[in-house]
Structure 1
Amino acid sequence: MTTGGGLSSAGAGAGRAGGSAAGLRTVFSGLTTRGRSFLAAGIAAGVCAYVLGQSDLLRVGLFLAALPIGCVVALYRTRYRVTGTRSLSPARVPAGSEARVHLRLDNVSRLPTGLLMLQDRVHYVLGPRPRFVLDRVEAGGSREVSYRVRSDLRGRYPLGPLQLRLADPFGMCELTRAFSAYDTLTVVPRVEPLPRVRFTGEAQGYGDGRQRALALAGDDDVIPRGYRHGDDLRRVHWRSTARYGELMVRREEQPQRSRCTVLLDTRQVAHHGSGPDSAFEWAVAGAASAAVHLLGQGFSVRLLTDTGISVPGPDGSGGFGGDSSEAVGVVLDTLAVTDQSDGTGLSPAHEAIRSGNEGLLVAFLGSLDEEQCAVVARMRRQAGTAVAFVLDGAAWSREADDGHDPVAARLRRLHEAGWIALPVSPGDRPAALWQEADRHASPTRTGAGVRA
């Protein structure tokens, strides 16, 4: 990702009516502490020289006052143009990983620059603002610098605009100019590779469990496609050929992808703690790992939250197909900005999935009360295989154990409804739990299994 922009030096507006006075006021406002001290000392020396009648002191005062004023005028009359570009490598990083930002400054004027100081604005989560000092850039020359940013928190963070500070050699005056362009760094959840397992379910995926549906015999049900070299001429569909003006053949068989819904419980009341090691962040990372893994196995994946909002949206309710990098990018970008909701129930998610057969349902749930446990149990009816990872609220909140374990009771309820339900405690790894879920599945493996 690359952005660029250009700006002129401090005197860029001097040619306009009234621009000269405004420009000078702007430049004088950029006097540094040293410049203001010299100017104040010069004025004080001039007043003392007038009161005491000391001509030598007056010359010293004039020199002290003239030095910062001369620097201001020189900086105001400077005429050069510079352009800046920024590139990110990469523009999307997992939480806890580093990205490198490359800055390039080009002097496109005919004069060399003076002392330049670069500062790039970054979000406080990414670290301190990087600053660089460039001594001199020759006419037509360029300088390149780079810095690293890192965040343990998901999100989209702006980088820029790049600020250029102009200074005179004596440090009497500094002016700050900003480019208009900025970039965005996307910090996505950490994705852990998951092992290939086979869950028993009704829907079938590619590979060993491939399912094909024959097209119906009626002309109204035929889905034609263009003729390809090697197609059997007996499959030519003459009505479509006449309609489209090119040779069309019947599409006699269509592969059906396994469908999967990854449900993420984002209710704030269901998760304890905050920060990168909180229960909610574990659930988001687990959902990201499951979605990326299933996309890589050829599943049609839909990401669903407790609010009933799904990705893809209503126009793509069937989910993403295949393991394309674009689909993975959309899922990770969505999870990068997913925040906790104010909802108190999972009924909207149940309404979103109750209309069809989900094939495989993978849920990452927070704390469940009796009512929400019953809602989750009913979701099992719409899935061939249902796997739930329930975060143990007491363990994540580090509350004292009073002998009563509500998580165990909820898990038993989900097991009775047909779920493969596992508790999640701090320190558990998604890959290990994924493998354990496979061991808890039915030991009877049939050809109708779902490979995940």
Structure 2
Amino acid sequence: MAVPEAGGTAGDDRGPLRAAFGGLTTRGRSFVAAGAAAGGCAYALGQPDLLRVGVLLMVLPVACVLVLHRTHSRVAAWRRLTPATIAAGTEARVTLLVENVTRLPSGLLLLQDRVPYVLGSRPRFMLDRVEPGGRREVSYRVRSELRGRYPMGPLQVRLADPFGMVEISRSFGGQDLLTVLPRIETLPPVGLGGEAGGHGEGGQRTVALAGEDDVIPREYRHGDDLRRVHWRATAHRGALMVRREEQPLRARCTVLLDTRRTGYLGAGPESAFERAVSGAASAVLHLAQRGYQVTLLTDTGLLVPGSEAEITDGTEVVALIMDALAVIDHSSVTTLAPSPRALRAVEGALLLAFLGAVDATQAAALAPLRQRAGAAVAFPAAGQADPGLESYQRRGLRAAGWVARGLRPGAGLPRAWEEAAQDLAAHGRRAW
């Protein structure tokens, strides 16, 4: 739950009380003007009864200002997002809580939360009266078809007195972030290769399977079991060495996402670029659930996770990659030529490439990645409206040693995924 938001009057540096008098409505100002006019006439005509009427007309809006100002300065507000991270096309619930922390009941409360237009219209609520110490809760839903990170807030609260004399606005400065992840498609449980050592379907092996002479020892650390002392290495090094703990060798996969602005046409949730991002996110989640060690690579050289030290927990790695995909945008890069860092990332791994428009030059630029990888599968997402162009792109990628399947609008990644698995099975070891 969010902490109470703090803030003063919205955009007014004249002082709280002066700003409160600035909140007089047309009715309140009319009462003040009528009271002043009645007082002036009473003085000119010598009518004390008219003076009393004038004083009453002026005191009423002033009293409303003072009472409302006291309530206004002691209203607390919270916002709660459930959940704070959603997938594109799903909904999140936003709950607003308002509490009256004074000993006086509040007047009419008008709530308006500021949200980006992509999430819908700005929600407005009306609370009739909040008793001293009372709390009110209202909620609304937001939904986005576009991934991204969207600020929620600030929350604006308008207080009005029962007579309609005064309206005071207060803007709370606190904001919350709603993260909308790319759309995820459920992929069929078929293997695309890239397993550790070329064995199994995403299985694991450990160094315990190796012979004693193949184990790479390390220096003894306080607390190590003496039964794991590697005597041969100890004699060779002249220092106490122990066998390493069993370390799983997980199947590895590198997902390459092409973000070149020149590689894609169109915009919106169904654009080629969004299909590529969605495909990359779906592949990352699918393979991570099957036990793969997954890495995201882009044409700009972005690598997530950025170092081996970050690869500690599969769930954390998937979260890092999904957060990166939620906000990734087009790049100004014009070539897919890999960096040395990218070449190291794909060494011996399954390589999945979600690409834009690819000509012969770009296919040739990808050749070093293909040569370092195990199996290599490309999913070009551009040009699907033109079957001839799609066929041309696939031929160019296949000539460079890739298995290629286009991401057509409406067909979805699951079908292309299954077709790619069939192509790999048909080619056998030649596709590696």
Confirm or deny a common fold (TM above 0.5): yes
- Match in the other structure for 1:312: 305
> CA contact under 8 A between 1:9 and 1:81: conserved in structure 2?
no
Q: What CA distance in whole angstroms lies between the structure 1 residues aligned with 2:350 and 2:216?
A: 32
Q: What CA distance in whole angstroms lies between the structure 1 residues aligned with 2:227 and 2:287?
A: 38
* 2:408 aligns with one of 420, 425, 428: 425
1:99 and 2:104 matched? no
Q: What CA distance in whole angstroms lies between the structure 1 residues aligned with 2:352 and 2:383?
A: 19
Q: What CA distance in whole angstroms lies between the structure 2 residues aligned with 1:251 and 1:5?
A: 51
Tell me the CA shift for residue 95 of structure 1.
0.9
Q: What CA distance in whole angstroms lies between the structure 2 residues aligned with 1:226 and 1:257?
A: 28
- Match in the other structure for 1:74: 67
Q: What CA distance in whole angstroms lies between the structure 1 residues aligned with 2:228 and 2:113?
A: 63
- Match in the other structure for 2:118: 125
Tell me the CA shift for residue 331 of structure 1.
1.5
Q: What CA distance in whole angstroms lies between the structure 2 residues aligned with 1:281 and 1:379?
A: 24
> CA contact under 8 A between 1:298 and 1:322: conserved in structure 2?
no
Query: What per-residue deviation string (whole Å, max 9, x for no partner) do you get for residues 347-391 of structure 1?
Result: 2x4543224614100000001233212112332101100000012
SS of 2:183's partner is: coil
1:276 and 2:279 matched? no
Q: What CA distance in whole angstroms lies between the structure 2 residues aligned with 1:204 and 1:152?
A: 40
1:437 and 2:426 matched? no
Q: What CA distance in whole angstroms lies between the structure 2 residues aligned with 1:51 and 1:215?
A: 113
Written as runs of structure 1 = structure 2, the 5 A alignment for 1:127-206 is 127-201=120-194, 203-204=196-197
Larger deviation: 371-380 or 297-306? 371-380
With normalisation by structure 2, the TM-score equals: 0.83
> CA contact under 8 A between 1:350 and 1:375: conserved in structure 2?
no
Q: What CA distance in whole angstroms lies between the structure 2 residues aligned with 1:217 and 1:204?
A: 19
Change (3 A) 1:219 1:359: closer
Written as runs of structure 1 = structure 2, the 5 A alignment for 1:173-252 is 173-201=166-194, 203-204=196-197, 210-213=204-207, 214=210, 217=213, 221-222=217-218, 234-236=227-229, 250-251=243-244
Change (3 A) 1:39 1:79: closer
Q: What CA distance in whole angstroms lies between the structure 2 residues aligned with 1:415 and 1:7?
A: 60
- Match in the other structure for 1:84: 77
Tell me the CA shift for residue 155 of structure 1.
1.0
> CA contact under 8 A between 1:202 and 1:449: conserved in structure 2?
no
Tell me the CA shift for residue 442 of structure 1.
3.5
Change (3 A) 1:444 1:3: same
Q: What CA distance in whole angstroms lies between the structure 1 residues aligned with 2:64 and 2:148?
A: 44
- Match in the other structure for 2:5: 5
Q: What CA distance in whole angstroms lies between the structure 2 residues aligned with 1:424 and 1:304?
A: 19
Larger deviation: 78-87 or 200-209? 200-209
Query: What per-residue deviation string (whole Å, max 9, x for no partner) do you get for residues 67-96 of structure 1?
Result: 433422332355872322221111100111
SS of 1:364's partner is: strand
> CA contact under 8 A between 2:217 and 2:244: conserved in structure 1?
no
- Match in the other structure for 1:327: 317
1:377 and 2:396 matched? no
Q: What CA distance in whole angstroms lies between the structure 2 residues aligned with 1:357 and 1:77?
A: 67
> CA contact under 8 A between 1:359 and 1:383: conserved in structure 2?
yes
Change (3 A) 1:336 1:107: same
- Match in the other structure for 1:353: 342
Change (3 A) 1:202 1:25: closer
> CA contact under 8 A between 1:377 and 1:419: conserved in structure 2?
no
Unaligned runs of 5+ in 2: 235-239
Tell me the CA shift for residue 301 of structure 1.
0.8
Q: What CA distance in whole angstroms lies between the structure 1 residues aligned with 2:145 and 2:259?
A: 19
What one-letter code is carried by the residue in structure 1 that aligns with 2:218?
A: V
> CA contact under 8 A between 1:84 and 1:104: conserved in structure 2?
yes
Change (3 A) 1:418 1:224: farther
Tell me the CA shift for residue 191 of structure 1.
0.9
Q: What CA distance in whole angstroms lies between the structure 1 residues aligned with 2:411 and 2:220?
A: 50
Q: What CA distance in whole angstroms lies between the structure 2 residues aligned with 1:131 and 1:285?
A: 33
Q: What CA distance in whole angstroms lies between the structure 2 residues aligned with 1:312 and 1:167?
A: 52
* 1:286 aligns with one of 257, 279, 283: 279
With normalisation by structure 1, the TM-score equals: 0.80
Paired residues in the alignment total 422
- Say what the alpha-carbon RMSD is for the aligned residues: 3.8
Larger deviation: 436-445 or 282-291? 436-445
> CA contact under 8 A between 1:225 and 1:250: conserved in structure 2?
no
Larger deviation: 351-360 or 265-274? 351-360
What one-letter code is carried by the residue in structure 2 that aligns with 1:26?
A: A
Tell me the CA shift for residue 194 of structure 1.
1.0
Tell me the CA shift for residue 265 of structure 1.
0.7
Query: What per-residue deviation string (whole Å, max 9, x for no partner) do you get for residues 139-175 of structure 1?
Result: 2222111111111111111112322222111122111
- Match in the other structure for 2:398: 415
Q: RCO higher in 1 or 2 (8 Å CA, sep ≥ 6)?
A: 1
Change (3 A) 1:444 1:426: closer
Q: What CA distance in whole angstroms lies between the structure 2 residues aligned with 1:169 and 1:252?
A: 74
> CA contact under 8 A between 2:193 and 2:375: conserved in structure 1?
yes
Tell me the CA shift for residue 24 of structure 1.
3.4
Of Structure 1 and Structure 2, the greater strand share is in 1
Larger deviation: 105-114 or 47-56? 47-56
Change (3 A) 1:101 1:254: same
Q: What CA distance in whole angstroms lies between the structure 1 residues aligned with 2:124 and 2:117?
A: 14
* Identity score, percent: 53
- Match in the other structure for 2:105: 112
